[in-house]
Structure 1
Amino acid sequence: MYWSETPDVFNDFVSESIRRDTFDKILRSLHFADNMKMIDDRFYKVRPFSQHHNNVSNLQFQQEFHSIDEIMIPYCGKHGVKQFIRGKPVRFGFKVWVACTSDGSLLYFEPYCGSDTKIPDIGLGEGPNVVYQRTNGEPLKDDIL
């Protein structure tokens, strides 16, 4: 995808910096979690990365205006938490809750995995749960860091 010639995904910096085969080898061996320590979490492989990013970015980016929304990461393979949303530009993929600053810097992201999502439920729905958790600064359920 990074070396595709279509204008929506093509990136000169990536395609000229590293060869495609080298990049594929790196992606095959890149791991954020130990497979032997599987926990009951559908995103256990990327959970340490997301928690570390969320903790570090909360210390660095303190701005007045934030935006909280859901995004879809395109994915067409098989996975238990892959979402399908009819009528969206990206219909198949992983749904992720994100909070960004007004200049577009990513502050926080939490992968959506149905009832196993690590955002506390206050009974108002998915969106308000994320906003409430971010504004009150409460730690996520089952936070391992």
Structure 2
Amino acid sequence: MPSVRAYWEMETKHPTVCDVMSRDRFLKLLTLIHFQDNLNVSDDAKKDKLWKLRPWLQNLRKQFLCIPPEECHAVDEMMVPFKGKSNLRVYMPAKPHKWGFKMWGRAGQSGFLYDFDVCQGAENPDKERSDVGVSGDLVLKMTSTLPAGKNHKVFADNYFTSVPLVEHLKERGIHYIGTVRMNRVKDCNMMDEKDLKKKGRGSMDFRVNQDNNIIVRWFDNKAVNLLSSFVGIEPVGNVKRWDRKSKTHIMVPRPAIVETYNKFMGGVDLLEMLCALYKFSFKSRRWYMYIWWHTVTVAVINAWNLYRRDQKKLEPG
């Protein structure tokens, strides 16, 4: 509905909602709802910027993790739209909603969110830096709840990807594919982008390092660099692309690593798209209520995904 009150209005009322609770009672409960006893919270607990919402986030995350995980998972960032005042609000110009709260998430190919965390800004500066960097630590944190040695596969973009990260995941029996920035791959001499461009769209080059990780550079409209621990260029397939010169569609060679990455990387993006379809319309002076309502939306989408998964299993052969 476009507004909360619409569920109780005569022309648009929804029996599933209005027959259970009156409008005034629902709106009153929204103003009074709390997730933490403010009088019994220690000073150490209050160092957490999300301490007022922490019990809810912990229990919701625990419930998500009870669901058996899929084989392929994408790690990416999500945005909770918010334009009010808060120390946690960030600005991300590349996102559809540029202002809001940033969340890290691990979602399956179906869009089911298994693990998440709300970004609280920079970590403790006194903390010793790991060899995978701050972004790599986020992937390790999101995948720490995945069972080891079960042939799970993780996908992420070039913000997270590095060779040490791939090695850390490989030690736990988790495979990885991600786009990569070439300054994070040391001593790797790949064919220059200009040389690939001369060969035409679909040209590619690859290297295998000492740890059997594959680095692939593929030229489409521009060069794309990928790093993988389990997929290379074979088998090379074809993908349809529009050619401006001939003004017709042409078939362009595409390595297997690109096809696999495109197929399984969109889990978090799919979840964000589904959240955008059912945006909440209430307003509150308490900024953390926007995070809470967003997680309620995510929980409903997860429930729908779980229902669809169960329905497929119940369908006869």
Amino acid of the structure 2 residue aligned with 1:58: L
Give 5+ residue unaligned stretches, structure 1: 5-10, 139-145
Where does 1:91-106 land on structure 2 (aligned, <5 Å)?
Answer: 91-106=98-113
Q: Cα gap change, 1:64/1:80 in structure 2, threshold over 3 Å: closer, same or farther?
A: same
Q: What does residue 141 of structure 1 align with? A: none
Q: What does residue 61 of structure 1 align with? A: 68
Q: Cα gap change, 1:24/1:76 in structure 2, threshold over 3 Å: closer, same or farther?
A: farther
Give me the TM-score of the superposition, normalised by structure 2.
0.35
Q: Identify which of 109, 132, 135 aligns with 2:143.
A: 135
Where does 1:1-145 land on structure 2 (aligned, <5 Å)?
Answer: 3=3, 16=14, 17-18=17-18, 21-36=24-39, 37=41, 39-116=46-123, 122=130, 124-137=132-145
Give me the TM-score of the superposition, normalised by structure 1.
0.71
Contact conserved, 1:41 with 1:116, CA < 8 A, in 2? Answer: no
Q: Cα gap change, 1:102/1:22 in structure 2, threshold over 3 Å: closer, same or farther?
A: farther
Amino acid of the structure 2 residue aligned with 1:28: T
Q: Cα gap change, 1:47/1:123 in structure 2, threshold over 3 Å: closer, same or farther?
A: farther
Identity %, equivalent residues? 28
Higher Cα radius of gyration: 2
CA distance in 2, matches of 1:45, 1:2: 28
Query: CA deviation digits over 1:6-32, x for unaligned, max 9?
Result: xxxxx9xxx733576554322212211
Q: Which consecutive aligned stretches of 4+ in structure 1 deviate over 6 angstroms post-superposition? A: none
What is the RMSD computed on CA atoms of the aligned residues? Answer: 3.1
Give 5+ residue unaligned stretches, structure 2: 8-12, 147-317
User: How far is 1:77 from its partner?
Assistant: 0.9
Contact conserved, 1:72 with 1:95, CA < 8 A, in 2? Answer: yes
Q: Cα gap change, 1:90/1:23 in structure 2, threshold over 3 Å: closer, same or farther?
A: farther
User: How far is 1:131 from its partner?
Assistant: 1.3
User: How far is 1:99 from its partner?
Assistant: 1.3
Q: Cα gap change, 1:41/1:89 in structure 2, threshold over 3 Å: closer, same or farther?
A: same
CA distance in 2, matches of 1:51, 1:121: 26
Q: What does residue 7 of structure 1 align with? A: none
- Aligned length, in residue pairs: 128
